[in-house]
Amino acid sequence: MPSLLLRWRFFVILALSMLVLLWPLHGLVQAYYFDGLQRKNSQTLDLFAANLTGTLKQYEILPQILGRLPEVHNALLNPQRSETLEAANHLLNRMQQQTRADVVYLLDTRGTAIAASNWQHERSFVGHNFSFRPYFFEAMAQRTGTFFGLGNISLKRGYYFGNAVYVDETVVGVLVVKVDLDFTESLWGNTPERLMVTDNNGVAILSSEPGWLFRASRALTDGELAQIAEHQPYASREPERLELSGSQWLRFDKQLEKTGWTVSVLVPRQELVVQVQTAMAVVTASMLALLLVLGLLMQRRRHYLERIEMDASARTELEGRVQQRTLDLQTLNQRLRDEVLERENTRQALVRTQDELVQAGKLSALGVMSASISHELNQPLAAIRSYADNARIFLQQQRLPEVAGNLVLITTLTERMASIIEHLRAFARRDPQASEHVALQPAIEDALALLASRSHGLQLDIVRDIPDATLWVEAGETRLRQVLGNLLSNALDALGERQAPRTLSLSTRFVDGWVCLQIRDNGPGFSREALQQAREPFFTTKTSARGLGLGLAICDAVVKSLGGRLEFANNPDGGACVELYLKPIVSSVNLEAREDIV
């Protein structure tokens, strides 16, 4: 009997001790799950902030680059000319499509939009004044202007970058790029957690909960309300208060230093409560089971102790695995951030390298054109000088027939110079984008005429197998001449690498409804690598002084825009073979190709 009483007393004391332990245990369990939520959402905040910052950084330098383009300068210096504004509109539209910005637009010094990528849309920015926006007066003050707000024309949110446009170190306007950040909300997905990004005023500008947008998460001061009324960044000048009760939400924040924004993840507190209640239920049930096991297995104390030891070991192992998994996730997160930074640095280096290569290409093209003009015009000029001196001497001697003969020769030489200049002007003309009916044979002859001096220097034998009847094709006149000039120039470069005899063959034929121009040479031909990568930009087999590897890539893109195609191969007998396929124009009317008015 005393033994039974002692046993019950032991159970009562043990039960009371367990009840007392439940309260501090509840706090420990709650702290444990809260720390887990904090680690999880801290990683999520880091990833989202890195993605948002990286997106904005992609567009930060874009206004400075576009502000140096001649179309932008012409539009600001000559806003009354419709052709300069149209060129600027088309340029901004192309840049918007290539960079995937929301809108790119150009403001004059008064803040009025004179050109925009959306000039054809119903809600075009052209003609509207944006001088009240911070990015305008910050850019006019020769600083990089930034601003986030609701567009008063498009009624869409966006982040704006503005930079001043300089001409001779004078600010003549502001170029603005608007970035659409709506996609960042869709990346969040459908989860119990809520995403919210607040600006310096504490107003929600991005959120996965639509009802929270443009509502203030704190009380706004009079100065902040005045600034909101002046800059109009939100749908309302007095944003409604957003009440987020601490009893409903757990909030985790991360500050973005560059923009001053705060990225927040709000987790329903009920999620933590459910986890803690589940854990406590498990703990309470475990305690009851423990009491039951103690009551039933008092005589088997040793086995019970062994089982407790096994449970403790398993719990320790589980916690170790959880800690190891957390450490692995943190390590992976750091690697992802390093990779994002490395890729951004690589992209910036690539952009700088491409700019330098394009500039080198421009200088190379300028040198080649100058040498061509000098070579083609020096000989006729020297001959004209000689004939003029002879004519003066014959005139002093009253030998009028000889004077007339020299003047006829001078006229012939001036006609030759005019022909040479006309060939050069044909390549310098701006080509309309619409398709034209272009005669193929004159375009070939013009391209050969521009390369005549190089052909003579190489002692080149040109073989033509082209019909006399005019072949009309669907193309752009100047673009077609540029393609032909580039292809023939490449052929001459290849022929310059071998000894005489050198042969260049040109032939045309109809193939499956196409007009095919075949250009063959007896040079070294294409290597296997060149056949595979000929259409890729910056691939070249020439030295950096002779080429940038852009010629064939540009030709391929131009021909595709004309609705045709280019094929590259090697001749069975040696040398390269390039085939240009264009759409034929079948008509009984003698159609002439359109020219730009010069």
- DSSP letters for 241-266: B----TTTEEEEEEE-TTT--EEEEE
pLDDT tens column, 228-286: 887 788 877 788 888 877 778 888 888 887 787 888 888 888 877 888 878 878 878 88
pLDDT score recorded for residue 540 = 64
In the predicted structure, residue 593 carries a pLDDT above the cut 50: no
pLDDT score recorded for residue 598 = 32
In the predicted structure, residue 368 carries a pLDDT above the cut 60: no
Strand pairing report for 502-511 and 460-465: parallel
Average pLDDT over residues 337-344: 89
pLDDT score recorded for residue 174 = 95
pLDDT score recorded for residue 119 = 92
Compute the distance between CA of residue 88 and CA of residue 75 in angstroms, rounded to an integer. Answer: 6
In the predicted structure, residue 366 carries a pLDDT above the cut 60: no
Average pLDDT over residues 156-162: 90
The lowest-confidence range among 297-306, 396-405, 589-598 is 589-598
pLDDT tens column, 465-499: 888 888 888 887 777 877 888 888 888 888 887 77
In the predicted structure, residue 150 carries a pLDDT above the cut 90: no
Q: Tokens representing 125?
A: 């920015």
Q: How confident is the model at residue 129 (pLDDT cuts 50, 70, 90)?
A: very high
Mean residue pLDDT across the chain: 80
In the predicted structure, residue 353 carries a pLDDT above the cut 90: no
On whether the CB atoms of residues 460 and 500 are closer than 8 A, the answer is no
Q: Tokens representing 202?
A: 């504490």
Compute the distance between CA of residue 234 and CA of residue 237 in angstroms, rounded to an integer. Answer: 7
Average pLDDT over residues 385-402: 86
Of these ranges, 94-108, 260-274, 306-320, the one predicted with the greatest mean pLDDT is 94-108
The distance from CA 339 to its chain's CA centroid, rounded to whole angstroms, is 19
Q: How confident is the model at residue 2 (pLDDT cuts 50, 70, 90)?
A: low
Q: Which amino acid is at 231?
A: H
Compute the distance between CA of residue 65 and CA of residue 104 in angstroms, rounded to an integer. Answer: 12
Q: How far is CA 406 from CA 386, 402, 432, in A?
A: 9, 6, 43
In the predicted structure, residue 177 carries a pLDDT above the cut 90: yes
In the predicted structure, residue 382 carries a pLDDT above the cut 90: no
Residues with Cβ < 8 Å from 430, sequence gap 6 or more? 478, 596
Compute the distance between CA of residue 187 and CA of residue 448 in angstroms, rounded to an integer. Answer: 56
pLDDT above 90 coverage of the chain, percent: 15
Model confidence, pTM: 0.43
Q: How confident is the model at residue 85 (pLDDT cuts 50, 70, 90)?
A: very high
Q: How confident is the model at residue 544 (pLDDT cuts 50, 70, 90)?
A: very low
3-state secondary structure 349-415: HHHHHHHHHHHHHHHHHHHHHHHHHHHHHHHHHHHHHHHHHHHHHHHHCCCHHHHHHHHHHHHHHHH
Q: How confident is the model at residue 27 (pLDDT cuts 50, 70, 90)?
A: confident
